[in-house]
Amino acid sequence: MNSNLLSVREKQAVDALLQGKSNKQIALSLGISERTVEFHLNNVYSKLNVASRVELILNLGKAKGDISANPVESTVEADGANGDNGNQSVRPRAAHSLRNTVSLIKKEVAMTIQISFEDLENYLRSHTWLSNLLVFLAASLSVRYVVFDVGLYFWASYILLGILLGWGSMRFGRMTHEDKQFSPLMILILSALLPLFVTGFDQLYLNTVLRYTDAVSISIANISATAQWLASADGMLYRSTQLSVTSDILWFIAIAYMLALFLLSKLTGKRSGENHLATV
């Protein structure tokens, strides 16, 4: 039985197990879920050829962290041990072993990805300044792509963008102030997707309502955009758009707008929390 087969996470789980910790306690100490702990322990059972938690403890010994010592032989008979195989063919058993190996590798890869995301989320939770910075960076870059690269051609799209950015900034400020568990990665993804939602709204307007109306144009903060449907020589309709950007001022305004509402939300949340404590 070779403990070098175990990964770092598996050794950490075994070390905690030998300390008498339950799966829930192991999960809390390692910052992972109980499901992940169970996955690691099942892999340990398979790699060290033991059948249960008790047999693992008996083989590795009850000394804290003693997973490198030479344990006693497992009482579970391994595949291919001495015994009568009867007429069983070696090829099906080899194929079965190969399928098990492939299945184990797939599970390892999937769980490694899950654990990586869990570790990243735990890191972002413990470094709130970095989490906040990434959220605003994702939102600002998404806004820049939507406004300066794709373009918004309908005045209501700018209003919708302002509402979503304002709501998102205030909601995020409230969440970071309140003592609640939330997924930093999910917040990061949503901050990038909100401005893209406005693009979908704008494109829907351009491809439906605009077909039956005159050209639409807008000019705001050194940005001018024009869109209209034209007819080609053969009578086919096609959409013509023009986007001109001469300054980044609107982008800077959007960033300042988000930061202001974020800080305002945190400040009002802090004051309301202090008032609640004072009344208690």
Task: Please give the single-letter amino acid code of residue 182.
Answer: F
Q: What is the overall mean pLDDT for the chain?
A: 79
> For residue 223, which of 137, 167, 169, 155 has the smallest C-alpha distance?
155
Q: Decide: 163 and 255 in contact? Cβ < 8 Å.
A: no
Question: Rounded to an integer, what distance in angstroms lies between the CA atom of residue 50 and that of residue 42?
Answer: 10
200: left (phi over 0), alpha (psi -120 to 50) or beta: alpha
Residue recorded with tokens 């879920």: 33
Q: Which domains does the chain have, with CATH numbers?
A: 3-76+99-124 (1.10.10.10), 127-279 (no CATH)
> 3-state DSSP: the chain helix, strand, coil percent, rounded to 5?
65, 10, 25
pLDDT of 77 reads 40
Question: Vertex 270, ends 265 and 275: CA angle to 5°?
Answer: 125
Question: Rounded to an integer, what distance in angstroms lies between the CA atom of residue 89 and that of residue 16?
Answer: 41
Q: Which residue has the higher pLDDT, 249 or 92?
A: 249
Question: Rounded to an integer, what distance in angstroms lies between the CA atom of residue 156 and that of residue 203?
Answer: 12
How far is C-alpha 42 from the geometric centre of its chain's CA atoms? 25
Three-state DSSP at 245 gives strand
Total Cβ atoms within 10 A of residue 173: 22
pTM of the entire structure?
0.60
pLDDT tens, position by position, 168-224? 999 888 887 665 556 788 888 999 999 999 999 999 999 999 988 888 999 988 899
Tokens read off for 215: 């050209």
With 80 as the cut, is the pLDDT of residue 109 above it?
A: no
pLDDT tens, position by position, 116-141? 777 777 777 778 888 889 999 999 99
How far is C-alpha 230 from the geometric centre of its chain's CA atoms? 43
Three-state DSSP at 280 gives coil
> For residue 254, which of 205, 221, 218, 228 has the smallest C-alpha distance?
221
Q: Which residues contact 234 (CB under 8 A, 6 or more apart)?
A: none
When computed from its CA atoms, the radius of gyration of the chain, rounded to whole angstroms, is 30
